[in-house]
């Protein structure tokens, strides 16, 4: 659903637009920090239940950061997410193994190269605040600011054609 200049967009429609832009899977930049030490790296993500999921080895530096400071930022193209990361346990222990199945389907090469059942944990990121840069059906640039906690959305035109 693309926004148009002559109509408003609801919170639900804005969240829908976000996940429409992200699709089933994306490689997103993930930023995390601990004790003023900031790291950014790419992670292979899946999207379902209005959340972002990725896996990581429980022994990696980023995992230590995520467990001690769960506040993260993620970005792909015009979608910028600020959220909270949560360790959901081993990937293979997720009820229904939804992530594992999606990872095999959409990110097979990564699944095949980097899956280690005994050390890979599933990280769930709950979006808190999202900024989306997009263009409308009318061809003008705008930003959507989605506040997941307040369940609100603000639209700011960047330009008008």
Neighbour-count burial of 52, counting CB atoms closer than 10 A to its CB (0-12 exposed, 13-18 middle, 19+ buried):
buried
DSSP 8-state symbol, 112: H
**What are the distances in angstroms from CA 44 to CA 28, 103, 106, 121, 123?**
6, 9, 10, 13, 11
Per residue in 56-102, pLDDT (tens digit) is 999 999 999 999 999 999 999 999 999 999 999 999 899 999 999 99
What stretches of 20-151 adopt beta strand conformation (E)? 25-34, 37-48, 51-57, 71-76, 79-90, 120-135, 141-147
**What are the distances in angstroms from CA 143 to CA 97, 112, 124, 135?**
35, 37, 25, 8
Higher pLDDT, 138 or 5: 138
Query: Contact at 8 Å (CB) between 9 and 142?
Result: no
> What element of type H or E holds 155?
strand 152-157
What stretches of 49-96 adopt beta strand conformation (E)? 51-57, 71-76, 79-90
Q: Is the pLDDT of residue 161 over 70?
A: no
Per residue in 43-57, pLDDT (tens digit) is 999 999 999 999 999
Neighbour-count burial of 121, counting CB atoms closer than 10 A to its CB (0-12 exposed, 13-18 middle, 19+ buried):
buried
The rounded distance, in Å, linking the Cα atoms of 20 and 33 is: 29
Residues in CB range of 126: below 8 A, 6 or more apart: 51, 83, 84, 86, 148
Q: Is the pLDDT of residue 3 over 90?
A: no
Q: Is the pLDDT of residue 8 over 90?
A: no
The rounded distance, in Å, linking the Cα atoms of 142 and 109 is: 36
The confidence band for 135, taking pLDDT boundaries of 50, 70 and 90, is confident
């Amino acid at each position: 659903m693309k926004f148009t200049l002559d109509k408003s967009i609801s919170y639900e429609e804005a969240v829908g637009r976000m996940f429409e832009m992200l699709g089933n899977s994306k490689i997103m930049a993930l930023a995390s920090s601990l004790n003023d030490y900031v790291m950014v790296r790419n992670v292979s993500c899946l999207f379902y239940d209005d959340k972002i999921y990725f896996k990581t080895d429980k022994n990696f530096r980023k995992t230590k950061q995520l467990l001690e400071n769960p506040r993260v930022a993620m970005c792909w193209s015009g979608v910028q997410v600020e959220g909270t990361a949560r360790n959901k346990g081993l990937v293979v222990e997720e009820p229904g193994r939804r992530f594992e199945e999606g990872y095999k389907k959409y990110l097979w090469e990564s699944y095949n190269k980097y899956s280690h059942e005994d050390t890979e944990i599933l990280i769930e990121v709950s979006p808190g605040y999202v900024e989306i840069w997009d263009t409308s059906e009318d061809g003008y640039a705008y930003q959507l600011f989605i506040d997941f906690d307040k369940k609100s959305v603000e639209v700011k035109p960047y330009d008008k054609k």
